[in-house]
Structure 1
Amino acid sequence: MILVSACLCGVDCKYNGKNNLNEKVLKLLKEGKAMPICPEQLGGQATPRPAHEINNGTGADVLDGKAKILGPDGDDATKEFLKGAYETLKIGKECDAKIAVLKARSPSCGFKRIYDGTFSGNKKDGNGVTAELLLRNGIKIYTEENIDELLKEF
């Protein structure tokens, strides 16, 4: 089973109440190969909700207690993001997921590049908190931006 960001399947769970539908990810779901997850909703956050970014670090730093996930007004959602990451991992273990296709640049799901914490649109190297936790537990990560690499393996 492949974990996939629910927003990529067309679920309106994105911070602004919309989705990031990706037809290739939706096809995996329709073929019964994917399990949709939204770490932010699994962590108890409402939809819509303020956008959040990792402040002074990356998902690795959040997991290690060295960084926080803040909204534009400084609201701290670190606890909810961590809960969502661990709930996602629990689902991944239950369905024996070895792969995840996650939303690029997200503070939860971003892989290799995430927003830099300034709400300016700038990016920095690093993973979101859920992507980092899944990686630490042996789950290979893709995003919608490199899904074609995954599809070549099928």
Structure 2
Amino acid sequence: MKPQFSPLTIQNSDPYFELHKQGQYSPWSRKIFEDCLTKPYFAYSLDHDNQPLGYYIAMTVLDEVTLMDIVVSSAHQGNGFGKSLLQHLLDHCNQNNIQQIWLEVRESNAAAINLYDNAGFILVEQRVNYYPSAKGKEDALIMCCYLG
């Protein structure tokens, strides 16, 4: 059986909040995470045999989407699940006449930057000292994928 996508809701969010905490240097609170599972946000999980593989959370404003968070379980990284999650988001956006997808990524996250580059995202801006990190602050790269 292949991995399955499902809507991510507050009711089924417990294992994904755990993934969120594992995947972030400074994770959101449970309340913020749950708030991001209500409109105008949308979220999908990716599972296999009831194992949480990953998820993404995005927000729609008019004809633009912002990718707020995308995480693959550390035990399942390197298996193409990040690409599957991103492709699901792109498909969702194309089906809903979204024109642009925006995201921020830590400049040190080479795997994610490579994933976004390969999906057609381009670098638009760099925010200096945006993210907290173990060494103080880290720049954020602002990227956009123009769909229409």
TM-score, normalised relative to structure 2:
0.35
Higher RCO, 1 vs 2 (CA within 8 Å, ≥6 residues apart): 1
Bigger share in strand: 2
Q: Indicate the structure (1 or 2) with the bigger Cα radius of gyration.
A: 2
TM-score, normalised relative to structure 1:
0.34
